[in-house]
Amino acid sequence: MKREFLILYDKITNFEAAGYEDEEISRILTKAQERVVLSRYKSLSNQVREGFENTEIRRKELQELVKGVTITTPSLDQTQALPNGVFYDLPTDCLLAVSEEVTIASSVACTNGNRVRVKPVTHDEYSINVSNPFKKPSALRAIWRLDYQGHKHELITDGAFTVNEYHLRYIQVLQPIIIGAQTVDGATGPLNCELNDILHRRIVDEAVKIATGVTDPAMYQIKTVEQQGNE
Protein backbone atom coordinates (compact mmCIF):
# COMPACT_ATOMS: atom_id res chain seq x y z
CA MET A 1 0.00 0.00 0.00
CA LYS A 2 2.91 2.34 0.72
CA ARG A 3 4.47 1.60 -2.67
CA GLU A 4 1.21 2.17 -4.53
CA PHE A 5 0.55 5.36 -2.57
CA LEU A 6 3.96 6.77 -3.52
CA ILE A 7 3.58 5.81 -7.19
CA LEU A 8 0.14 7.42 -7.53
CA TYR A 9 1.05 10.46 -5.48
CA ASP A 10 4.22 11.12 -7.50
CA LYS A 11 2.31 10.66 -10.74
CA ILE A 12 -0.35 13.20 -9.76
CA THR A 13 2.12 15.76 -8.45
CA ASN A 14 4.61 15.22 -11.32
CA PHE A 15 7.32 14.50 -8.72
CA GLU A 16 7.26 18.16 -7.67
CA ALA A 17 5.59 17.91 -4.25
CA ALA A 18 7.40 17.32 -0.99
CA GLY A 19 7.72 13.67 0.03
CA TYR A 20 6.14 12.00 3.02
CA GLU A 21 7.87 10.03 5.78
CA ASP A 22 6.67 6.60 6.90
CA GLU A 23 4.86 7.97 9.95
CA GLU A 24 3.04 10.56 7.83
CA ILE A 25 2.04 7.93 5.25
CA SER A 26 0.85 5.66 8.07
CA ARG A 27 -1.38 8.40 9.45
CA ILE A 28 -2.73 9.27 6.00
CA LEU A 29 -3.52 5.62 5.22
CA THR A 30 -5.18 5.20 8.62
CA LYS A 31 -7.31 8.30 8.10
CA ALA A 32 -8.20 7.12 4.59
CA GLN A 33 -9.20 3.69 5.93
CA GLU A 34 -11.57 5.31 8.44
CA ARG A 35 -13.19 7.44 5.73
CA VAL A 36 -13.65 4.48 3.40
CA VAL A 37 -15.24 2.29 6.08
CA LEU A 38 -17.63 4.98 7.32
CA SER A 39 -18.68 5.85 3.77
CA ARG A 40 -19.57 2.22 3.17
CA TYR A 41 -21.38 1.82 6.47
CA LYS A 42 -23.70 4.78 5.89
CA SER A 43 -25.59 4.59 2.60
CA LEU A 44 -26.00 8.37 2.25
CA SER A 45 -22.22 8.86 2.47
CA ASN A 46 -21.41 7.27 -0.89
CA GLN A 47 -22.31 7.85 -4.50
CA VAL A 48 -24.27 4.62 -5.07
CA ARG A 49 -26.27 4.88 -1.80
CA GLU A 50 -25.31 1.38 -0.66
CA GLY A 51 -24.72 0.95 3.06
CA PHE A 52 -23.54 -1.89 5.28
CA GLU A 53 -24.86 -5.28 4.06
CA ASN A 54 -27.15 -3.67 1.44
CA THR A 55 -25.36 -5.64 -1.30
CA GLU A 56 -22.97 -8.57 -1.59
CA ILE A 57 -20.01 -6.27 -2.28
CA ARG A 58 -20.73 -4.25 0.86
CA ARG A 59 -20.91 -7.43 2.95
CA LYS A 60 -17.56 -8.62 1.63
CA GLU A 61 -15.89 -5.24 2.07
CA LEU A 62 -16.54 -5.02 5.82
CA GLN A 63 -16.84 -8.67 6.86
CA GLU A 64 -13.41 -8.73 8.55
CA LEU A 65 -14.61 -6.08 11.00
CA VAL A 66 -17.69 -8.00 12.22
CA LYS A 67 -17.25 -9.73 15.60
CA GLY A 68 -19.60 -11.40 18.05
CA VAL A 69 -19.78 -11.72 21.82
CA THR A 70 -22.19 -13.03 24.44
CA ILE A 71 -22.23 -10.90 27.61
CA THR A 72 -23.54 -12.67 30.71
CA THR A 73 -22.53 -10.28 33.49
CA PRO A 74 -24.07 -6.82 33.97
CA SER A 75 -21.85 -3.81 34.61
CA LEU A 76 -20.64 -3.42 38.18
CA ASP A 77 -21.77 0.21 38.12
CA GLN A 78 -25.56 0.52 37.84
CA THR A 79 -25.67 4.16 38.96
CA GLN A 80 -28.43 6.12 37.18
CA ALA A 81 -30.00 3.01 35.63
CA LEU A 82 -33.64 3.57 34.65
CA PRO A 83 -36.53 1.48 36.09
CA ASN A 84 -36.24 -2.08 34.71
CA GLY A 85 -32.96 -1.06 33.08
CA VAL A 86 -29.57 -2.78 33.46
CA PHE A 87 -26.22 -1.50 32.19
CA TYR A 88 -23.88 -3.80 30.26
CA ASP A 89 -20.25 -2.95 29.51
CA LEU A 90 -19.38 -3.24 25.83
CA PRO A 91 -16.18 -4.85 24.51
CA THR A 92 -13.39 -2.27 24.36
CA ASP A 93 -13.08 -2.71 20.58
CA CYS A 94 -16.81 -2.25 19.87
CA LEU A 95 -17.38 0.58 17.40
CA LEU A 96 -20.91 0.06 16.04
CA ALA A 97 -23.56 -2.51 16.96
CA VAL A 98 -25.04 -4.38 13.98
CA SER A 99 -27.17 -7.12 15.58
CA GLU A 100 -28.51 -7.57 19.13
CA GLU A 101 -30.58 -10.22 20.90
CA VAL A 102 -31.04 -11.41 24.48
CA THR A 103 -31.87 -14.74 26.09
CA ILE A 104 -34.40 -14.08 28.83
CA ALA A 105 -35.36 -15.69 32.15
CA SER A 106 -39.03 -15.64 33.01
CA SER A 107 -41.45 -17.33 35.41
CA VAL A 108 -43.73 -17.86 32.39
CA ALA A 109 -42.85 -21.24 30.89
CA CYS A 110 -43.66 -20.29 27.29
CA THR A 111 -41.19 -17.37 27.30
CA ASN A 112 -38.48 -18.61 29.67
CA GLY A 113 -35.26 -19.14 27.74
CA ASN A 114 -36.56 -17.38 24.64
CA ARG A 115 -34.18 -15.41 22.45
CA VAL A 116 -35.67 -11.94 21.97
CA ARG A 117 -34.77 -9.09 19.63
CA VAL A 118 -33.18 -5.91 21.02
CA LYS A 119 -34.53 -2.64 19.64
CA PRO A 120 -32.32 0.48 19.88
CA VAL A 121 -34.43 3.48 20.98
CA THR A 122 -33.81 7.13 21.79
CA HIS A 123 -34.41 8.66 25.19
CA ASP A 124 -37.39 10.53 23.74
CA GLU A 125 -38.91 7.26 22.51
CA TYR A 126 -38.36 5.78 25.96
CA SER A 127 -40.16 8.65 27.69
CA ILE A 128 -43.10 8.61 25.26
CA ASN A 129 -43.69 4.84 25.12
CA VAL A 130 -42.53 3.39 28.45
CA SER A 131 -46.09 3.40 29.82
CA ASN A 132 -47.77 2.35 26.58
CA PRO A 133 -48.76 -1.35 26.94
CA PHE A 134 -48.71 -1.79 23.16
CA LYS A 135 -45.25 -0.32 22.58
CA LYS A 136 -43.23 -0.87 25.77
CA PRO A 137 -40.66 -3.71 25.98
CA SER A 138 -42.08 -7.21 25.86
CA ALA A 139 -40.87 -10.80 26.04
CA LEU A 140 -42.87 -11.44 22.87
CA ARG A 141 -41.82 -8.41 20.79
CA ALA A 142 -38.50 -6.89 21.80
CA ILE A 143 -36.64 -5.28 24.65
CA TRP A 144 -35.14 -1.81 24.39
CA ARG A 145 -31.56 -0.59 24.29
CA LEU A 146 -30.34 2.88 25.23
CA ASP A 147 -26.80 4.19 24.76
CA TYR A 148 -24.96 5.50 27.81
CA GLN A 149 -21.62 7.05 28.65
CA GLY A 150 -18.70 4.88 29.68
CA HIS A 151 -19.07 2.56 26.68
CA LYS A 152 -22.27 0.95 27.96
CA HIS A 153 -25.64 -0.19 26.68
CA GLU A 154 -28.67 -0.07 28.94
CA LEU A 155 -31.16 -2.90 28.32
CA ILE A 156 -34.77 -2.16 29.31
CA THR A 157 -37.40 -4.83 30.03
CA ASP A 158 -40.98 -4.52 31.28
CA GLY A 159 -39.97 -5.89 34.69
CA ALA A 160 -41.76 -9.21 34.19
CA PHE A 161 -38.59 -11.00 33.03
CA THR A 162 -34.80 -10.56 33.21
CA VAL A 163 -31.89 -10.80 30.77
CA ASN A 164 -29.67 -13.86 31.11
CA GLU A 165 -27.42 -13.31 28.08
CA TYR A 166 -26.82 -10.35 25.80
CA HIS A 167 -25.83 -11.48 22.29
CA LEU A 168 -24.06 -8.73 20.38
CA ARG A 169 -22.53 -8.55 16.94
CA TYR A 170 -20.60 -5.40 16.15
CA ILE A 171 -18.11 -3.67 13.90
CA GLN A 172 -14.82 -3.48 15.71
CA VAL A 173 -12.61 -0.43 16.11
CA LEU A 174 -10.29 -0.08 13.14
CA GLN A 175 -6.68 -1.10 13.57
CA PRO A 176 -4.28 1.56 12.23
CA ILE A 177 -2.25 0.90 9.10
CA ILE A 178 1.37 1.36 10.16
CA ILE A 179 4.53 1.24 8.06
CA GLY A 180 7.60 0.15 9.99
CA ALA A 181 8.12 0.66 13.72
CA GLN A 182 5.97 3.78 13.98
CA THR A 183 3.33 4.45 16.63
CA VAL A 184 -0.11 5.62 15.49
CA ASP A 185 -3.19 5.98 17.72
CA GLY A 186 -1.47 4.09 20.52
CA ALA A 187 -0.52 1.09 18.37
CA THR A 188 3.01 0.24 17.23
CA GLY A 189 3.74 -1.21 13.81
CA PRO A 190 4.27 -2.67 11.47
CA LEU A 191 0.52 -3.36 11.08
CA ASN A 192 -1.15 -4.38 7.83
CA CYS A 193 -4.63 -3.34 6.78
CA GLU A 194 -7.06 -5.93 8.19
CA LEU A 195 -9.84 -5.17 5.72
CA ASN A 196 -10.73 -7.31 2.71
CA ASP A 197 -8.22 -6.98 -0.15
CA ILE A 198 -10.91 -5.52 -2.41
CA LEU A 199 -10.80 -2.33 -0.33
CA HIS A 200 -7.04 -1.81 -0.31
CA ARG A 201 -6.86 0.18 -3.55
CA ARG A 202 -9.88 2.26 -2.48
CA ILE A 203 -8.00 3.14 0.69
CA VAL A 204 -4.87 4.06 -1.27
CA ASP A 205 -6.94 6.24 -3.62
CA GLU A 206 -8.48 8.00 -0.63
CA ALA A 207 -5.03 8.46 0.93
CA VAL A 208 -3.70 10.02 -2.29
CA LYS A 209 -6.74 12.31 -2.31
CA ILE A 210 -5.96 13.41 1.26
CA ALA A 211 -2.29 13.98 0.44
CA THR A 212 -3.04 16.00 -2.70
CA GLY A 213 -5.57 18.05 -0.72
CA VAL A 214 -2.64 19.34 1.31
CA THR A 215 -0.23 19.95 -1.56
CA ASP A 216 -2.58 20.64 -4.50
CA PRO A 217 -6.20 21.64 -3.66
CA ALA A 218 -7.21 21.79 -7.34
CA MET A 219 -6.08 18.22 -7.91
CA TYR A 220 -7.88 17.24 -4.71
CA GLN A 221 -11.17 18.27 -6.31
CA ILE A 222 -10.39 16.21 -9.40
CA LYS A 223 -9.58 13.14 -7.30
CA THR A 224 -12.80 13.59 -5.33
CA VAL A 225 -14.90 13.50 -8.50
CA GLU A 226 -12.97 10.49 -9.83
CA GLN A 227 -13.44 8.55 -6.61
CA GLN A 228 -17.17 9.22 -6.45
CA GLY A 229 -17.45 7.54 -9.82
CA ASN A 230 -15.65 4.46 -8.47
CA GLU A 231 -17.82 3.88 -5.38
pLDDT averaged over every residue in the chain: 87
Residue 143 has pLDDT above 90, yes or no: yes
What's the pLDDT score for residue 51? 59
- Domain shared by 73 and 157, yes or no: yes
What's the pLDDT score for residue 45? 44
What is the span of the domain harbouring residue 144? Answer: 66-172
Across 122-145, average pLDDT: 92
- Domain shared by 94 and 125, yes or no: yes
Across 68-73, average pLDDT: 97
- Domain shared by 184 and 87, yes or no: no
Residue 217 has pLDDT above 60, yes or no: no
- Domain shared by 76 and 140, yes or no: yes
- Domain shared by 129 and 220, yes or no: no
- Domain shared by 162 and 84, yes or no: yes
Rounded percentage of the chain residues whose pLDDT exceeds 90: 63
Across 199-207, average pLDDT: 93
What's the pLDDT score for residue 57? 79
Among 34, 62, 50, which residue's Cα sits nearest to residue 171? 62
- Domain shared by 166 and 134, yes or no: yes
Write out pLDDT tens, residues 21-62: 899 999 999 999 999 998 888 754 445 455 566 678 778 888
- Domain shared by 161 and 179, yes or no: no
Q: State the first-to-last Cα distance of the chain, in angstroms, to the nearest integer.
A: 19
8-state DSSP, 60? H
Q: Which of 172, 193, 212 is the last residue of a domain?
A: 172
Q: Is 38 exposed, middle or buried (0-12, 13-18, 19+ CB in 10 A)?
A: middle
Rg (CA), the chain: 22
- Domain shared by 94 and 132, yes or no: yes
Among 207, 202, 226, which residue's Cα sits nearest to residue 9? 207
- Domain shared by 12 and 85, yes or no: no
Q: How many domains does the chain have?
A: 2
